[in-house]
Amino acid sequence: MEENDGFLSSLSLRNSSAPVPRPNQNDGLDGGKLFVDSSPSSSEDENDAVSLHSTSKRLDYMLQFLDRKLSVANVNVVDHISNINMSDASDTAHGSSSLPEFEAKGGGTGMFKVPVRAAVHPNRPPRLELRPQPLRETQIGCFLRTMVSTESQLWAGTECAVRVWNFKDLYSPAAEAGRGEGDSETAPFRESVCTSAVMCLVGDDGNRVVWSGHRDGKIRCWRMDSSSSSALVTAPFKEGLSWQAHRGPVLSLVISCYGDLWSGSEGGVIKIWPWEAIEKALSLTIEERHMSSLLVERSYIDPWTQVAVNGFTNVLTSDVRYLLSDSSSAKVWSAGYLSFALWDARTRELLKVFNTDGLNENRVDISSAQDLSVEFISGAKKDKTQSSFGFFQRSRNALMGAADAVRRVAVKGAFGDDNRRTEALVIAVDTMIWTGCTNGLLVQWDRNGNRMQEFHYHSSAVQCFCTFGLRIWVGYASGTVQVLDLDGNLLGGWVADNSPIIKIATGAGYVFTLANHGGICGWNITSPGPLDSIVRSELAGKEFLYTRIENLKILTGTWNVGQGRASQDSLISWLGSVASDVGIVVVGLQEVEMGAGFLAMSAAKETVGLEGSSVGQWWLDMIGKTLDEGSTFERVGSRQLAGLLIAMWVRHNLKAHVGDVDAAAVPCGFGRAIGNKGAVGLRIRLYDRIMCFVNCHFAAHLEAVNRRNADFDHVYRTMTFSRPNFLNCAAASASSAVQMLRGTNAIGNNSVEGMPELSEADMVIFLGDFNYRLDGISYDEARDFVSQRCFDWLRERDQLRVEMAAGNVFQGMREADITFPPTYKFERHQAGLAGYDSGEKKRIPAWCDRILHRDSRSALVSECCLECPVVSSISQYEASMDVTDSDHKPVRCIFTLDIARVDESIRRQELGDILESNGKLKCMLEELCRIPETIVSTNKIILQIQDTSILRITNKSGQKDALFEIICEGQSIIKEDGHASDHCPRGSFGFPRWLQVTPAAGIIRPDHIAEVSVHHEEHQTLEEFVDGVPQNCWCENTRDKEVILVVKVHGRYSNNTKSHRVCVRHCCSAKTKQSDPPEHNTRQTQGTALHRSNFQHLSSSYDVVHHLWSMNSP
């Protein structure tokens, strides 16, 4: 009664108002919150309609919940009054219309234990389903490949477009219009026009754009503002700029700390796109936009050209898979699978080349070996020299690459270091670099490329990294996520998904993981932590608000056809006559085709991945015709192993909810290698629940009971499902290590290592010719009992029932009571019970052909809910005794299913309500989000040529670490009147080349001071590149310049920052020097540091500018 009271109070609350309103916010994040505000960003009318629909769905689910409670209560009352002992749980769930069932012993333990399900998974933190796992079949040609976050958005690249989510829409209900297949419950997003497959993404918050690299070799620029309008708008947005960057695919992108865009492609090709050219292209008017692509396309810099001049040889002939910007030391890392290169981000010079073991590659002085000195002079001589050098360099690189490959094979064996190749690369806030390997090894490097230490916590391949605050998140090919601290200590881990985690990004208080199947989940940035238990408890308590119960019927049929063919009338009698109200039809056939030659050919075809036969195809076509395939049903999967065939048809109105179809085959005959005996299976995801159907043919003969038991055990333990080959390529292309997964990771729900895949299903149905016979009875006695329909006495002699009762086979599975005559063995084309075998052998009639099942019910839970998501009953279990085309009679069984599923759109809204309304949770979040009190030593620095000033940042907090990052908000030229023009930011808030800030990011321990060097770097000449070759050079502008540095400080868990502006002015004119105070003319290391009395607290606003001018303006 207490549960119903809570339900009614919630119902009253939901009826009295729409979902809890929240105050509007700007795009920025509130300084006192860990999570973004979940208020809708669309127009009021549109959102009112969506909210009304969402509230209506909540009411429907609550009424379903109430109906279930009342029906269960009524059944209990009737049982109490009538003193009826109902031993079977299915009778309680479905009433008297369901057949009684017999349950085998041995279930509930070991590999026969029902998989753990719950409203909120007990073994991992609660998660936000931004994009629930889509069905694989809906994603062909549009799989999500990569992901990146900006300050206010999450961007993802697909095989045909880019899409973007606004963080303020995280908890909004899914939009009904404009959503493609697989996105019915996805949070509102917008998608771009069709493009080539997206290979990589990088965000630039400074200019509010996102860059994408594509398979066709193009780089495209997307403006954040054009994609941040109402997510309910379905019109695709277009790119703002694009150009042909590479001949091959663009594999990696990064923006250096100086604002340049670096791109990597196949064959070791790296190109640098100077910010000056990009800025000019972005500033063109619409009428001039046609020139922008050509302007940028020809402006690239080929860093390998400078490498040759400086005496290095290009040993990185492998694909440039990863690029990483180290702003703390102004470097760029490029990496292939087995080697790394370290570049100077300012001069673009190669600093170091080393392999995965940390060993430096050789340096070769080309100039001493070849007379190939290059003088960059305008004219034909320069072009000819460059072309000649390019030919020699490419030839030498090819030879060096081949020699390097031979050396690796000789030292480590062919492909011996594949398990140590690099799969992921990231930089932490303490400036340490982390790489992940195929064998699960985590390697830590310092900023100079020195290998420091390694860690090994998981055997699966590392797929991706992400860092935030003092934590490192690691995604593995097994679907596991682990969290480490900066010292490499393991803080926690869990199975985050049933598919490889291929990308991780942070934003809005979440760590977002992109799985290989295309689903995106958000994890609390504090997980694992104290917030998890509170959110889990609150979310589980609202289960009835987001639980939807689906009902459907499944028709299953089994028939040993004895190498014959059936008439259309026989198929209609068996299947067509009862298929009118079922949603799914699963058919298993045995002995479709036999014979030694056929079995040998079938085994040979299996070794090369081929299966099927013309006879099998005939059966599929005939059954499809019976089911009106094409207009009523659609065949979604089939699998043949020698004479075994299983196939599935789904009604059209159910097709949108059925997918992830996988197939399996297990031979059991002749040394477990030939398919005359064995099993074939299909696995599907139906309403997000896993269903397995297994068609078996076990060992024959009366005395072979133990062999039949062993056949079942072998099938149950070893059946491994796999997806079709054409899907494997599409879904696994995001990573080289995905193919190493065992089959269960394609669909199984949080599989437990070492458990059979059938153990992980929510429902398993076994059907087929199991070949169990009747013991202790003669042929004549059996005929007499059958003619008198005394099936109770015959069931006691049934070998299968005896073995199930002893817990020797089909442990924990159920079968409806048999009320039809034995189905074996009959004379062909002889009707009635008189058709039993009357030949010389007079085989004793037996129930060889059976259908058994196991659903989600356990000893603790039998009512359909998220903890017990699939509850089945049997409404019909019978044989088609009028069919005479084989020596076996076909058997059919109709299951009535209740399936509990989660409406992820509603649960996402409920999660937003919990985070907004739970007082204890809000207090904990505020404490975790508190930014340490920090002060900065100055707000203005004046530098002359090659001056250095020290900027000091003090953490006044006695307990919390402060994390800081320094960006350049923009640069301007000082006018004659001493005032600065408008400040223009470089790419990703990069620094101008004349300014060096070291370190630009770091950690400040409690009561400690960080010293940042602000140095003027002499940079007197600038070069313009055309097609990778310097064309023009000129003196840098000698007028005074000014930049605004922004020191951004945050805590370990908060995305929000407190910021302080520091004006840095470079004075090179005589007028400026004379007007400056004397103390600023001296070149001192402390620069223009303020006195201790002038220390200021950091301000989140930028109102210190006017004070800055009045204090030290020239």
Nearest to 992 by CA among 929, 938, 1036, 959: 1036
Structure confidence at residue 250 (pLDDT): 97
pLDDT bracket for residue 495 (50, 70, 90): very high
Neighbour-count burial of 376, counting CB atoms closer than 10 A to its CB (0-12 exposed, 13-18 middle, 19+ buried) = middle
| Lowest pLDDT segment from 574-578, 813-817, 1093-1097 | 1093-1097
**Phi, psi dihedral angles at 205 (to 5 degrees):** -70, -25
Structure confidence at residue 1055 (pLDDT): 77
Contact 279/985 with Cβ under 8 angstroms?
no
DSSP character string of 735-797? -TTGGGS-GGGGT-SSPPTTS-GGGG-SEEEEEEE----B-S--HHHHHHHHHTT-HHHHHHT
pLDDT bracket for residue 974 (50, 70, 90): confident
Structure confidence at residue 74 (pLDDT): 55
The whole-model pTM stands at 0.83
Q: What is the pLDDT of residues 184-215, one digit of tens each?
A: 899 999 999 999 999 999 999 888 999 999 99
Query: The tokens of 681 are what?
Result: 């299976």
The rounded percent of the chain whose pLDDT value lies above 70 is: 76
Structure confidence at residue 6 (pLDDT): 43
pLDDT bracket for residue 749 (50, 70, 90): very low
Looking at per-residue confidence, does 194 or 1038 come out higher?
Answer: 194
Q: How many CB atoms lie within 10 A of CB 244?
A: 13
Can you list the alpha helix ranges (DSSP code H) found in 459-608? 531-541, 543-546, 568-574, 596-607
Neighbour-count burial of 551, counting CB atoms closer than 10 A to its CB (0-12 exposed, 13-18 middle, 19+ buried) = exposed
Q: Which residues of 629-665 are buried (b: 16+ CB within 10 A; e: fewer)?
A: beeebbbbbbbbbbbbbbbbbbbeebeebbbbbbbbb
Give the CA distances from residue 413 to residues 358, 417, 1061, in Å, rounded to whole numbers and listed in that order.
19, 8, 56
* Mean pLDDT computed over 541-560: 95
**Phi, psi dihedral angles at 876 (to 5 degrees):** -155, 130
Give the CA distances from residue 37 to residues 106, 350, 539, 581, in Å, rounded to whole numbers and listed in that order.
51, 45, 18, 46
Q: Residue 39: pLDDT above 50?
A: no
Q: Residue 1035: pLDDT above 60?
A: no
Q: What is the pLDDT of residues 46-69, one digit of tens each?
A: 555 556 667 777 677 777 677 666
Structure confidence at residue 1090 (pLDDT): 34
Contact 684/691 with Cβ under 8 angstroms?
yes
**Phi, psi dihedral angles at 770 (to 5 degrees):** -75, -20
Q: Residue 690: pLDDT above 60?
A: yes
Q: Residue 927: pLDDT above 50?
A: yes
- Cα–Cα distance measured from residue 1029 to residue 1026, given in angstroms and rounded to the nearest whole number: 5
* Mean pLDDT computed over 101-113: 93
pLDDT bracket for residue 531 (50, 70, 90): very high
Give the CA distances from residue 603 to residues 599, 673, 1072, in Å, rounded to whole numbers and listed in that order.
6, 7, 88
Structure confidence at residue 1022 (pLDDT): 59
Q: Describe the chain by its helix, strand, coil percentages, rounded to 5.
A: 25, 30, 40
* Mean pLDDT computed over 1047-1062: 87
Identify the residue whose tokens are 């979310």.
Answer: 539
Structure confidence at residue 225 (pLDDT): 83
Structure confidence at residue 611 (pLDDT): 86
- Where on the phi/psi map is residue 998: left (φ > 0), alpha (ψ -120 to 50), or beta? beta
- Cα–Cα distance measured from residue 179 to residue 349, given in angstroms and rounded to the nearest whole number: 47
Q: Which residues of 581-613 are buried (b: 16+ CB within 10 A; e: fewer)?
A: ebbbbbbbbbbbbbeeebbeebbebbeeeebeb
* Mean pLDDT computed over 485-512: 95
Neighbour-count burial of 282, counting CB atoms closer than 10 A to its CB (0-12 exposed, 13-18 middle, 19+ buried) = middle
| Lowest pLDDT segment from 652-666, 717-731, 987-1001, 1087-1101 | 1087-1101
Classify residue 1005 by its DSSP letter.
Answer: -
Contact 1045/1060 with Cβ under 8 angstroms?
no
* Most confident range, picked from 345-354, 696-705, 1088-1097: 696-705
Nearest to 645 by CA among 589, 580, 577, 723: 589
Q: Residue 875: pLDDT above 80?
A: yes
* Mean pLDDT computed over 70-77: 55
* Mean pLDDT computed over 527-542: 93
Structure confidence at residue 92 (pLDDT): 40
- Cα–Cα distance measured from residue 611 to residue 577, given in angstroms and rounded to the nearest whole number: 31
- Cα–Cα distance measured from residue 65 to residue 863, given in angstroms and rounded to the nearest whole number: 11
Looking at per-residue confidence, does 174 or 953 come out higher?
Answer: 953
- Cα–Cα distance measured from residue 566 to residue 851, given in angstroms and rounded to the nearest whole number: 21
* Mean pLDDT computed over 380-385: 38
* Mean pLDDT computed over 423-439: 95
Q: Residue 322: pLDDT above 80?
A: yes
* Mean pLDDT computed over 663-687: 93
pLDDT bracket for residue 228 (50, 70, 90): low
pLDDT bracket for residue 886 (50, 70, 90): very high
Q: Residue 162: pLDDT above 90?
A: yes
Q: Residue 954: pLDDT above 70?
A: yes
Q: What is the pLDDT of residues 164-181, one digit of tens each?
A: 999 999 998 887 655 667
Q: What's at 401, amino acid-wise?
A: G
Q: What is the pLDDT of residues 236-277, one digit of tens each?
A: 999 989 999 999 999 999 999 989 999 999 999 999 999 888
Q: Residue 435: pLDDT above 70?
A: yes
* Most confident range, picked from 190-194, 920-924, 937-941: 190-194
Give the CA distances from residue 817 to residues 225, 870, 875, 945, in Å, rounded to whole numbers and listed in that order.
65, 21, 11, 94
pLDDT bracket for residue 619 (50, 70, 90): very high
Q: Residue 10: pLDDT above 50?
A: no
Query: The tokens of 687 are what?
Result: 């309403």
- Cα–Cα distance measured from residue 138 to residue 1022, given in angstroms and rounded to the nearest whole number: 51
* Mean pLDDT computed over 84-98: 48
Q: Residue 679: pLDDT above 90?
A: yes
DSSP character string of 709-735? HHHHHHHHHH---B--HHHHHHHHTT-
- Cα–Cα distance measured from residue 131 to residue 504, given in angstroms and rounded to the nearest whole number: 14
Contact 583/652 with Cβ under 8 angstroms?
no
Identify the residue whose tokens are 């072009």.
Answer: 383
Contact 215/197 with Cβ under 8 angstroms?
yes
Structure confidence at residue 832 (pLDDT): 85
| Lowest pLDDT segment from 422-426, 653-657, 742-746, 990-994 | 742-746
Give the CA distances from residue 278 to residues 213, 222, 243, 514, in Å, rounded to whole numbers and listed in that order.
15, 13, 11, 30
**Phi, psi dihedral angles at 828 (to 5 degrees):** -65, 145
Q: Residues 6 or more apart from 194 whose CB is under 8 A from it? A: 160, 161, 236
Structure confidence at residue 395 (pLDDT): 53
The rounded percent of the chain whose pLDDT value lies above 90 is: 54
- Cα–Cα distance measured from residue 682 to residue 636, given in angstroms and rounded to the nearest whole number: 10
Contact 697/769 with Cβ under 8 angstroms?
yes
